[in-house]
């Protein structure tokens, strides 16, 4: 990157120019490393990445299908082009929380494709859901109770606030007509209730389904 | 459970990660956290617990991404309390503080993602590659976003303030 005076100006205005901590680093280090640490130091594939990959594949397939239907986009109801979907995805990121350490994946869409309106928000909801599920699994494995409770709470909030059930018999492209955003629409096939039961079971000490859900999209 | 050599190896590696404590604390402070030391300590605790997920070659982007999520959480937790006041909207979003009012306003006018892209490079001194990792996007997408964010910031600054010596020759395109 060439010299940029906008960035130079911003650098000069840095309100905290020095990296510094006011805590006793040695004491904090001892305290942290005295905590349980059960994870082996080997490269581990991020579990939520697998779920994200599946969602991404789904979106790409949807986009590819839609690409061929640009001229007949009426088939897809209210469809939008990639910039709108990407903006929806960014807007959704401002409204959803990912677990510590997780980041939002890039949304790649064919430039000539169309997607149902709200698809960017739906994609973000599914990413958040998958990330929190796998974060919960990790927290169970490491015995981190606060993290488990946080994951449970976040997932319940996602289900309550950002997931809707499509009416019976609705098409696959059904989208809620309300201004609710971001929102993922689940088919009326018991999937929503299965998620609820899965989270309740995990909270009650039976995380088998949760672990399977996290693992399901793995290679 | 880990055996003793594994534990020692983990501790040795974690000490390298922990050497960034000051940087993470400063990051949280720059993003307007009310408890930057607490955020940094929490980020380090998570790093210890999930050490296998922390990139060994360059942990800083991972630490910033973790701290960012923690600051956002802190902000969301405090949102209901702030909602009772007059400044609820601004309190909801972590913001830089004690800034020149024009710059503060210009930064607030950016989307959170654009602002973060700019600040990771300007204040956290990350390379575009590192900043892209912290935001979970690829390097090319990050450069595009950074360019756009710089343009928007400059436009906001020019709107907010009359020409000043250090703003007269902003190089918007970076050329």
Rounded-to-integer distance, Cα A136 and Cα A210, Å: 8
Q: Mutation target for A interface from B13, B122, B163, B175: give the one with most A CBs within 10 A.
A: B122
CB spacing of A15 vs B30 below 8 angstroms? yes
Which residue in A22, A46, A94 is closest to B37 by CB distance?
A: A22
Query: Taking CB atoms and an 8 Å cut-off, how many pairs form between chains A and B?
Result: 169
Of A23, A38, A100, the CB nearest to B46: A100
Distance, CA of A49 to CA of A95 (rounded, Å): 21
Residue B5 DSSP label: H
Q: Using one digit for the tens of pLDDT, what is the confidence trace for B128-143?
A: 999 998 988 888 888 9
Pairing of strands A163-165, A184-186: parallel
Whether residues A101 and B29 touch (CB distance < 8 A) is answered with no
Strand A79-80 relative to strand A115-116, pairing: antiparallel
Cross-chain residue pair A32–B45, CB shorter than 8 Å: yes
Q: Do A41 and B13 touch (CB under 8 A)?
A: yes
For every residue of B135-158, DSSP letters joined together read HTS-HHHHHHHHHHHHHHHHHHHH
Q: Where are the beta strands (DSSP E) in chain B?
A: none
CA closest to B155 among chain A residues: A6
**Residue A36 CB: number of other CB atoms within 10 A?**
12
Q: Classify the complex by whether its ipTM is higher than 0.95, answering yes or no.
A: no
- Helix (H) or strand (E) run with residue B77 in it: helix B60-83
Q: How far apart are CA A99 and CA A117, in angstroms?
A: 26
A-interface mutation test, from B40, B50, B90, most A Cβ less than 10 A away: B50
Q: Are A40 and B6 a contacting pair at CB < 8 A?
A: yes
Q: For position A42, what pLDDT does the model report?
A: 42
Q: Which residues of B touch A88 (CB under 8 A)?
A: none
Q: Determine the distance in angstroms separating the CA of A168 from the nearest CA of chain B, rounded to an integer.
A: 35
Specify the pLDDT at position A177.
Answer: 65
Q: Is A205 helix (H, G, I), strand (E, B) or coil?
A: coil
Cα(B58)–Cα(A156) distance, integer angstroms = 34
Which residue from B minimizes the CA distance to A22?
A: B37
Q: Is the pTM of this model over 0.90?
A: no
Q: Give the gap in angstroms from C-alpha B24 to the nearest C-alpha of chain A.
A: 8
Give the C-alpha separation, B132 to A159, whole Å: 30
Phi-psi bin for B171: left (phi > 0), alpha (psi -120 to 50), beta? beta
- Calculate how close chain B gets to A161, using CA atoms only, in Å: 15
Residue A69 is predicted with a pLDDT of: 42
Please answer whether residues B42 and A147 qualify as being in contact, where contact means their C-beta atoms are separated by less than 8 angstroms.
no
Contact B26, A18 (CB under 8 A): yes
Diameter of chain B by CA atoms?
A: 65
Residues with pLDDT less than 70, chain A? 1-3, 21, 37-77, 171-174, 177-180, 217-219
- Exposed/middle/buried for residue A14 (C-beta within 10 Å: 0-12, 13-18, 19+): middle
Q: Which residues of A touch B121 (CB under 8 A)?
A: 7
Residue B171 to residue A10: CA distance in whole angstroms: 13
List CB contacts (< 8 A) between A102 and chain B: 65, 69, 136
Element (H, E) at A116: strand A115-116
Q: Are A59 and A88 in contact (CB under 8 A)?
A: no
Q: Is A32 left (phi over 0), alpha (psi -120 to 50) or beta?
A: alpha
Nearest-angstrom CA–CA distance, B97 and B31: 8
- Give the list of residues 6+ apart from residue A165 with CB closer than 8 angstroms, or none: A185, A186, A187, A188, A192
Closest chain B CA to residue A99:
B69
Q: What does each of the 175 residues of chain B score in pLDDT, given as a tens digit?
A: 456 667 888 899 999 999 999 999 999 999 888 889 999 999 999 899 888 889 989 999 999 999 988 888 787 777 655 444 433 333 334 454 667 888 888 888 888 888 999 999 999 999 999 999 898 888 888 898 899 999 999 988 888 665 544 443 333 333 2
Whole-number pLDDT of residue A62: 57
What whole-number distance in Å separates Cα of residue A116 and Cα of residue A192? 21
Q: How far apart are CA A200 and CA B50, in angstroms?
A: 25
* Of residues A19, A29, A98, nearest to B69 (C-beta): A98
Cβ–Cβ under 8 Å, residues A63 and A113: yes
Q: Phi, psi at residue A116, to the nearest 5°?
A: -60, 140
């Amino acid at each position: 990157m060439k010299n940029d005076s906008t960035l130079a100006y911003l650098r000069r205005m840095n309100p905290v120019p020095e990296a510094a901590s006011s805590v006793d680093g040695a004491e904090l280090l001892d305290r942290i490393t005295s905590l349980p640490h059960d994870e082996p130091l080997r490269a581990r594939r991020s579990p939520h990445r697998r779920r994200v990959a599946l969602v991404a594949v789904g979106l790409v397939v949807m986009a590819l299908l839609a690409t061929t239907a640009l001229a007949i986009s009426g088939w897809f109801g209210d469809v939008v082009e990639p910039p709108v979907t990407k903006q929806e995805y960014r807007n959704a990121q401002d409204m959803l929380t990912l677990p510590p350490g997780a980041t939002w994946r890039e949304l790649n869409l064919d430039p000539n494709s169309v997607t149902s309106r709200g698809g960017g928000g739906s994609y973000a909801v599914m990413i958040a859901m998958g990330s929190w599920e796998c974060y919960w699994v990790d927290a169970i494995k490491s015995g981190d109770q606060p993290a488990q409770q946080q994951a449970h709470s976040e997932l319940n909030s996602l289900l309550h606030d950002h997931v809707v059930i499509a009416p019976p018999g609705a098409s696959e492209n059904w989208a809620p007509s309300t201004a609710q955003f971001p929102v993922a629409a689940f088919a009326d096939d018991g999937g929503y209730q299965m998620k609820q039961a899965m989270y309740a079971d995990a909270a009650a000490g039976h995380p088998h389904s949760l672990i399977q859900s996290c693992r399901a999209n793995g290679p | 459970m880990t055996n003793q050599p594994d534990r020692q190896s983990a501790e040795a590696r974690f000490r390298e990660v922990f050497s960034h404590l000051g940087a993470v604390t400063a990051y949280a402070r720059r993003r307007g956290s009310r408890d930057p030391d607490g955020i940094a300590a929490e980020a380090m605790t998570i790093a210890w617990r999930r050490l296998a997920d922390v990139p060994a070659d360059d942990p800083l982007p991972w630490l910033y991404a973790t701290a960012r999520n923690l600051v956002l959480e802190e902000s969301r937790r405090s949102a209901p309390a702030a909602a009772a006041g007059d400044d609820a909207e601004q309190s909801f979003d972590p913001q830089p503080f004690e800034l020149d009012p024009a710059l503060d306003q210009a930064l607030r006018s950016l989307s959170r993602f654009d602002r973060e892209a700019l600040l990771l490079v300007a204040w956290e001194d990350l390379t575009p590659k590192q900043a892209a990792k912290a935001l979970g996007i690829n390097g090319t997408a990050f450069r595009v976003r950074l360019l756009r964010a710089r343009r928007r910031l400059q436009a906001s600054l020019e709107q907010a303030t009359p020409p000043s010596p250090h703003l007269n020759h902003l190089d918007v395109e970076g050329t």
